[in-house]
Structure 1
Amino acid sequence: MPTAQKKIRLALVDDHKMILGALTEWIRNVADDIQVVAAVSTWPALLIHPEFPVDVVLLDLDLKDGIPVSLKLSALKATGVRTVLMSTYSDPGVVREALAAGALGYLVKSEEAGMIAEAIRAASKGESFISSELDLALSEGDVGGAPRLSAQERRVMALYGGGEPVKSVAYQLSISEETAKSYLKRIREKYRIAGIDVGTKVALRKRALQDGILHHGE
């Protein structure tokens, strides 16, 4: 009998009780591999929570507590906890600073549930994940160059560009078809901002080969 996959133990920190409740509900509905073990509204409440340290913390960047986010990130890192930050705004300077301080992911709160779950999964594996909206803000000025894709986006682009239908891409990466479609949408959007059109499957394949995401013969 296959062994049950260990669930990712997640803590949510947000000072809006409504958002905490909605996020907990969302994650329960879209991700049975993620378990919300703590949902708290302040930073100290996270540190004294009986379930702490957890695997991943989804941390609201806009907590009005005067504690610098770099301090929170280094404290979490020291206990082996991986952090995905969440914010209502997407100032590129703030994002760069947070990523430099050790955040593995950065999401805007308008992100859909499937993508939030993907960011948590990526962080649990030590991979980074930035919402496409923020990635676009970070990439401004890089027009003409290939956009930065997350590890999972590269996998989706390689499979889809290699001729797999969306259903098969989703199956191979153990994600839903909707999430696979969201990835393709993000990939196309990132390239579009960089001034590159990958609107068709042929154009996407060509670009995947050009950027070394897909190799000839695949």
Structure 2
Amino acid sequence: MSESGTIRLALVDDHKMLLGALSEWIRSAADDIELVCAVTSYPELLSHPAFPVDVALMDVDLKDGMPLAVRLAQMKPTGVKVVLMSSYSEPPRVREALASGALGYVPKSEDASMIVKAIRAASRGESYISAELDLAISSSDIGGSPKLSAQERRVMALYGGGEPVKTVAYELGISEETAKSYLKRIREKYRVAGFDVGTKVALRKRAIEDGILLQTD
């Protein structure tokens, strides 16, 4: 975020018509968001003079042959927060995006004002998906797995992926105590559902089985 408190935003979408329309809408949507980059490909984003930005609003389906997890992994060390948008909102796809490092997921069918909420949340290091999408993900859990919130899934993905509590807290912009309380709540939910995730290894295994963490993470 700039010294003035403005969120510097990059927009990446390979549909030029949508890119143009969305660019115009974002420029007039909020005074605290400055669109500094609008490009049609991921390489263009990386080479843009305004990069790194605060938040990148990126289409999931850029059709460049690069796995989403790879793009998100490359973005992580730059400090850029990523919000994804897509025409699809299947729970497994959303879970993969959040587990891979995205802080927000916005279906293109949703009201455009949701984009602003997701951008602002990401700039603070917070996860954001709509209540409807969160409910769809939770209700689709299989095998009797408990219903976790978007933030709980993010904590579980980071911690199960090998990060210490201190790093989980830093990544999500929360205190260590808050991160620990999330882990305690996650473990309690799984305990009630009949699953023991008391150890980090058990929690990681469960996160993979429930699609919260990718096998390769």
What amino acid maps onto 2:92 in structure 1? G
Superposed displacement of residue 130, structure 1: 0.7
What amino acid maps onto 2:101 in structure 1? G
What amino acid maps onto 2:117 in structure 1? E
Instruction: Write out the 4+ residue segments of structure 1 that deviate beyond 4 Å after TM superposition.
Output: none
Superposed displacement of residue 10, structure 1: 0.3
**Gap regions ≥5 residues in structure 1:** 151-218
1:40-189 correspondence to structure 2 within 5 Å: 40-141=39-140, 148=149
Counterpart-to-counterpart distance in 2, 1:128 and 1:11: 18
Counterpart-to-counterpart distance in 1, 2:138 and 2:112: 24
Partner of 1:70, secondary structure, is: helix
Superposed displacement of residue 148, structure 1: 3.3
Superposed displacement of residue 132, structure 1: 3.1
Write out per-residue CA displacement over residues 176-214 of structure 1, whole angstroms, 9 at most, x where no aligned residue: xxxxxxxxxxxxxxxxxxxxxxxxxxxxxxxxxxxxxxx
Query: Please, what TM-score do these two structures have when normalized by structure 2?
Result: 0.63
Residues 1:141 and 1:34: Cα distance change in structure 2 (over 3 Å)? same
Write out per-residue CA displacement over residues 46-95 of structure 1, whole angstroms, 9 at most, x where no aligned residue: 01000000000001001111101111101111111000011000111111
Instruction: Report if the CA contact (8 A) 1:27-1:113 is conserved.
Output: no
Counterpart-to-counterpart distance in 2, 1:97 and 1:149: 12
- Identity among equivalent positions (%) equals 62
Counterpart-to-counterpart distance in 2, 1:7 and 1:57: 14
Superposed displacement of residue 141, structure 1: 4.6
Q: How many residues align?
A: 147
Counterpart-to-counterpart distance in 1, 2:17 and 2:135: 29
Counterpart-to-counterpart distance in 2, 1:121 and 1:132: 16
Write out per-residue CA displacement over residues 105-160 of structure 1, whole angstroms, 9 at most, x where no aligned residue: 001012222210010000000000012342232011579x887377xxxxxxxxxx
Counterpart-to-counterpart distance in 2, 1:146 and 1:40: 37
Partner of 1:12, secondary structure, is: strand
**Gap regions ≥5 residues in structure 2:** 152-217
Partner of 2:105, secondary structure, is: strand
What amino acid maps onto 2:36 in structure 1? V
- 1:10 and 2:9 aligned: yes
Query: Please, what TM-score do these two structures have when normalized by structure 1?
Result: 0.62
What amino acid maps onto 1:69 in structure 2? L
